[in-house]
Amino acid sequence: MGMSNWIIGMVEDGTLCPECQGAGTVEVDHYHRQSFDVPYGDIYTTTEECDNCSGEGTIEGEEW
C-alpha cells in the first residue's frame, strides 16, 4: 500500500487529524504592528503544536 493510500485510509477511519494532516504541528501567523498609531508592521510565522490532536497527529473519530 502506497503512502497516499495509507493516508486516505487514516482519514476514512477518522484517526488522522484534519487540522495538521497527521504532522502534529501547525504554522501560526502572528501580526506585529509597528506602533499604536501605525497599523503597518510585520507578519511572522511560528510552528506550534496542534491544539486539535495535542501534537499526536491522530484523533478519535468523535472529536471531528
Q: Where are the domains of the chain?
A: 3-63
By the 10 Å C-beta count (0-12 exposed, 13-18 middle, 19+ buried), 42 is classed as exposed
Q: Is the pLDDT of residue 10 over 60?
A: no
- pLDDT tens digits, one per residue of 30-51: 998 888 888 888 999 999 999 9
Q: Residue 39 contacts by C-beta under 8 Å, 6 or more apart in sequence?
A: 33
Across the range 4-29, mean pLDDT stands at 76
Element of type H or E holding 42 = strand 41-49
What gap in Å lies between CA 38 and CA 36, rounded to an integer?
6
Confidence of residue 27 (pLDDT cuts 50, 70, 90): very high
